[in-house]
Chains A and B, each alone.
Chain A
Amino acid sequence: NAGVTQTPKFQVLKTGQSMTLQCAQDMNHNSMYWYRQDPGMGLRLIYYSASEGTTDKGEVPNGYNVSRLNKREFSLRLESAAPSQTSVYFCASSEPRGPNQPQHFGDGTRLSIL
């Protein structure tokens, strides 16, 4: 019972490099999310996808792009990485029927930009 799987778990990039973070869920959820977690800041929403083929900007979308290729997979791309994007990135999924539907999180990707 995998839940939400994120790859890779760790990555170090140089400024200006590009990278795609992968996320897949096996719970047949319609909604998927990308967050970043920084010390003292809590979780901040980068992008949200209500269903396959739809995406919406969250609180901190600048410097990121996303793709919802199918119901299972939601990827996050950094086109030109900057040191300010050093963070822990979490993918989550949920049913969209109401706020009491819990968001299920993956274990994160720890990204360092040098």
Chain B
Amino acid sequence: QKEVEQDPGPLSVPEGAIVSLNCTYSNSAFQYFMWYRQYSRKGPELLMYTYSSGNKEDGRFTAQVDKSSKYISLFIRDSQPSDSATYLCAMSTGGYKLSFGAGTTVTVRA
């Protein structure tokens, strides 16, 4: 069993829709949770970072962490074609090592 599970999709939504992405994990020691965005033929870039449980909002993006359920989510409101990318969740216990999900590919249709 993988330490971090992420549905690879693909996910296709119309412009303006809410995109909902999620990951589950098995290691209860994870405390730091991140979402990276990766455009085609590019490297990942950090989108959101959350420590422990709770919500974090940044513009159209909201990250949620539920440590009791070992479940994290990313919501994208008012999605735009420029949001079309692969979204990777990543987690850490506090050291340098990140455990990544496989990524979910999202397409926002104009």
Which A residues fall within an 8 A CB radius of B? 4, 31, 33, 39-45, 48, 50, 58, 90, 92, 94, 96, 98-100, 102-108
Contact = CB atoms under 8 A, between A and B. Distances in A.
Given A40-B8, A42-B103, A103 B92 contact: no
Contacts of B51: 100
A40 B43 contact: no
A41 B97 contact: no
Contact of B95 (A4, A99, A106): A99
A99 B102 CA distance: 20
Contacts, number: 58
A96 B103 contact: no
A100 B43 contact: no
Contacts of B95: 99
Contacts of A33: 96
Interface residues on B, range: 20 to 34
A102 B96 CA distance: 10
A63 B92 CA distance: 26
Contacts of A104: 45
The 4 A-B residue pairs whose C-beta atoms are closest, nearest first, are A105-B43, A102-B46, A42-B100, A99-B32
A39 B46 CA distance: 20
Contact of A96 (B45, B96, B100): B96
A48 B92 CA distance: 15
Interface of B: 4, 6, 8, 31-32, 34, 41-46, 49, 51, 88, 90, 92, 94-98, 100-103
Contacts of A4: 43
A107 B32 contact: no
A43 B97 contact: no
B97 A42 contact: no
A100 B32 contact: yes
Given A58-B97, A99-B32, A42 B102 contact: yes
Given A41-B102, A42-B103, A102-B49, A108 B43 contact: yes
A100 B8 CA distance: 25
